[in-house]
Amino acid sequence: MNTRHGSSEAQELAERLGLLSDEELTRRCAAGSFTELAHGIAAAELRSRGLAAPAPPEPLPPEADSEPEPYHGDMVTVARRFTPIDAHVLCACLESAGIPAVVADAELVQTNLLWSIAMGGVSLRVPQAFVQEANDVIAAFERGALSLDENFDPNQ
């Protein structure tokens, strides 16, 4: 269990940053990925080496026009496949049609393929509002309507 408190944590951070080269420490300090405490410690280390410490980058302003994604309903299972790859291919087809989709239980089935039958396979889920559209895409996929013809050229 980690029982370190702020001062010992700051001391350990100072020791770790002290091991970095001048160039690496300057790059990391200027990148803006440090916390305020870490940036202060890195800047102090750079100054102790006789180098100028870069100012922390300005935080990005929040996006004014970004709105949360609308709620389209609970996730509903629209298909099940016994192999995770089949479910991921079908998920990609749904996503390419603009339908938000997720594959569930793929990691569990990949860990133990014998469980796939007992679990009913890997499930493919979409929001309730997209169920009909997802069923249409799945039906088109299964009847081969989404397959590429023999003369398909990916370079065109």
In the block, residue with structure tokens 């799945």? 138
Q: For the residues 116-138, what does the mean pLDDT come to?
A: 94
**Predicted local distance difference test score (pLDDT) of residue 1:** 40
Q: For the residues 113-117, what does the mean pLDDT come to?
A: 83
Neighbouring-strand partners of residue 77: 125
Q: Report yes or no: 123 and 101 within 8 Å, Cβ to Cβ.
A: no
Mean of the per-residue pLDDT values for the chain?
86
Beta strands in 19-70 (DSSP E): none
**Predicted local distance difference test score (pLDDT) of residue 112:** 84
Neighbours of 102 (CB within 10 A): 15
What is the pTM for the complete model shown? Answer: 0.55
Statement: residue 46 has pLDDT above 50: yes
More confident residue, 130 or 147: 130
pLDDT digits (tens, 9 = 90+) for 72-92: 999 999 999 998 999 999 999
Q: Report yes or no: 112 and 55 within 8 Å, Cβ to Cβ.
A: no
Q: For the residues 60-67, what does the mean pLDDT come to?
A: 65
**Predicted local distance difference test score (pLDDT) of residue 10:** 85
Statement: residue 146 has pLDDT above 90: no
